[in-house]
Amino acid sequence: IVASGIALVAVRVADILERTRNLLEIGPGKLAPRTLHTRISIVATDYVQHLVLTEIIKRLRQEAPHIQLDMRTASRTRGREWMELGEVDLGIGPGTVPSGRMHFSSLYRDHAACILSKEFFSEREKLTLERFCEIPHVRIVPSKHCFFDDEVDRALERAGRTRRVMVTMQGFILVPKVVREGGLLATLPARLLEHMYVTKELWVRPPPFQMPEMTIGMYWHERTHRSPVHRWFRALVQDVLARKP
């Protein structure tokens, strides 16, 4: 068992043995990625997976073809628990402050963009605050909270306004289709929209109020902090994001 805040959490013995072996057998300068036979578990939203997963796979096929990836959908309420249990090695998502046994490294920043259907709205129509509040919204809540949706509600509260939420969804990928066919509005990360090529079917507009940028980064547990394998993999992920437009 290991301490997790005020709780004690059981950790799989096999997981501890595997990671201890990695630490003992792979010394400085001895890491050979092509010879690694291990599993790395990642937790991320479908938005982040859409942006980086295929690029990570391409790099692994070239540099470490025997590594297996286990992908898990993000959960802010259980992410730390999964890492304490040894079920997850790396998280990729909105910025968190390092605390206790957790570590964080920033990868990139993203800004918010609103999408509207070209079938329901004209090119000349401006997305004013009034229209923003009138049009039914898709709210995206992949786990307990969603950065941009929370910021939208905070901005509207400061303006003394509210929005009409018609649909709440847990994932990002289907949102453009729902917006396009349902005549709705959604606020999404701009980088996701660029990579989904949605501009042919949707209008992309800035929000009618100021919103902060979102920091996306990697977070991991102290358990893997000094592991040569996981340090190498985190560097690979950082390089993949640095190379993406």
Strand partners, 9: 2
Model pLDDT, residue 192: 86
- Lowest-confidence range among 43-47, 77-81, 96-100? 96-100
Q: Is the pLDDT of residue 146 over 70?
A: yes
Q: Is the pLDDT of residue 178 over 90?
A: yes
Q: Look at 171 and 13; give whichever has higher pLDDT.
A: 171
Structure-derived torsion over alpha carbons of residues 119, 123, 125, 126, reported in degrees to the nearest 10: 120
Model pLDDT, residue 24: 41
Q: Is the pLDDT of residue 26 over 90?
A: no
Q: Look at 121 and 3; give whichever has higher pLDDT.
A: 121
Contacting residues for 156 by C-beta, under 8 A, at least 6 apart: 133, 162, 163, 209
Q: In the predicted model, what is the mean pLDDT of residues 37-58?
A: 92
Using left for φ > 0, alpha for ψ between -120 and 50, and beta otherwise, residue 159 falls in alpha
Instruction: Give dist(CA 188, CA 204) in Å, integer.
Output: 10
Model pLDDT, residue 81: 80
Q: Is the pLDDT of residue 191 over 60?
A: yes
Tokens 């998502």 locate to 93
Percent of the chain with pLDDT strictly greater than 70? 82
- Lowest-confidence range among 106-110, 186-190, 195-199, 208-212? 195-199
Model pLDDT, residue 170: 87
Model pLDDT, residue 141: 84
Q: Look at 209 and 75; give whichever has higher pLDDT.
A: 209
Order of strands across the sheet that contains 112-117: 164-169, 136-140, 185-189, 112-117, 202-205
Q: In the predicted model, what is the mean pLDDT of residues 37-44?
A: 94
Exposed, middle or buried, 129 (CB in 10 Å: 0-12/13-18/19+)?
A: middle
Q: Look at 223 and 200; give whichever has higher pLDDT.
A: 223
Give the confidence band of 7 by pLDDT, cuts at 50, 70, 90.
very low
Instruction: Give dist(CA 61, CA 59) in Å, integer.
Output: 5
Length of the chain in terms of residues written: 245
Average pLDDT, the chain: 84
Model pLDDT, residue 23: 44
Q: Is the pLDDT of residue 4 over 50?
A: no
Q: In the predicted model, what is the mean pLDDT of residues 45-58?
A: 90
